């Protein structure tokens, strides 16, 4: 008996708008359930997100999303994982507050940052969340994530 196997090319390139405080829809190719996360911070090694358990059948509006409470207030995720998302869309953003970043602050303290370093980073992140999104391209070359600005 002969079996047919469906192969799917895994993308190694993603054009994305990075918005600190942005709400993102992750739309899997094989499921109708759209999941959401809120970007708290982004760097070469990881993105830090608040995760929601709510699932949607259509892309929600920003006003719907800002009413949600995250299930997990902070989760660090390998930044390369963004490239493997089937379809990732920025819905919109809302400036971050200290309360939004509380879980991240605990993480930073456990990671070894001093209170002064944590406070400085949090103020930078809050400031970034008031700026327009950055248009970037993420590309995985070998095991390395290459980040470049798009025009």
pLDDT in tens, 36-84: 999 999 999 999 999 999 999 988 999 999 999 999 999 999 999 888 7
DSSP-H helix ranges across 38-97: 62-65
CA atoms within 13 A on the CB side of 126: 14
Decide: 38 and 50 in contact? Cβ < 8 Å. Answer: yes
55 touches 34 (CB < 8 A): yes
Report the pLDDT value the prediction gives residue 11, as an integer from 0 to 100.
55
Residue 72's beta-bridge partner residues?
Answer: 51
What is the per-residue pLDDT for 9? 38
The residues that bridge with 47 in the sheet, in sequence order, are 42, 77
- Asked whether the whole model's pTM tops 0.75, one would answer yes
Give how far Cα 98 sits from Cα of 66, 73, 94, 125, Å.
Answer: 16, 12, 13, 10
pLDDT band at 96 (very low <50, low <70, confident <90, very high): very high
Average pLDDT of the chain to the nearest whole number: 89
Query: Where in the chain does DSSP place strands (E)?
Result: 13-18, 22-26, 34-42, 46-56, 72-78, 88-93, 134-141, 144-149
């Amino acid at each position: 008996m002969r079996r047919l196997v469906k192969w799917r090319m895994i993308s190694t390139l993603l054009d994305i708008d990075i918005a600190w405080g942005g709400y993102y829809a992750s739309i899997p190719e094989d499921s109708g359930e759209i999941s959401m996360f809120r970007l708290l911070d982004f760097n070469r090694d990881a993105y830090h997100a608040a995760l929601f358990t709510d699932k949607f059948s259509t892309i929600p509006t920003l006003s719907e999303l800002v009413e949600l409470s995250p299930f997990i207030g902070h989760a660090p995720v390998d930044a390369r994982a963004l490239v493997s998302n089937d379809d990732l869309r920025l819905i919109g953003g809302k400036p971050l507050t200290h309360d939004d970043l509380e879980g991240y602050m605990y993480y930073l303290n456990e990671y070894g940052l001093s209170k002064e370093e944590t406070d400085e980073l949090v103020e930078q992140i809050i400031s970034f969340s008031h700026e327009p999104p950055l248009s970037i391209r993420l590309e995985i070359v070998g095991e390395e994530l290459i980040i470049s600005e798009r025009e």
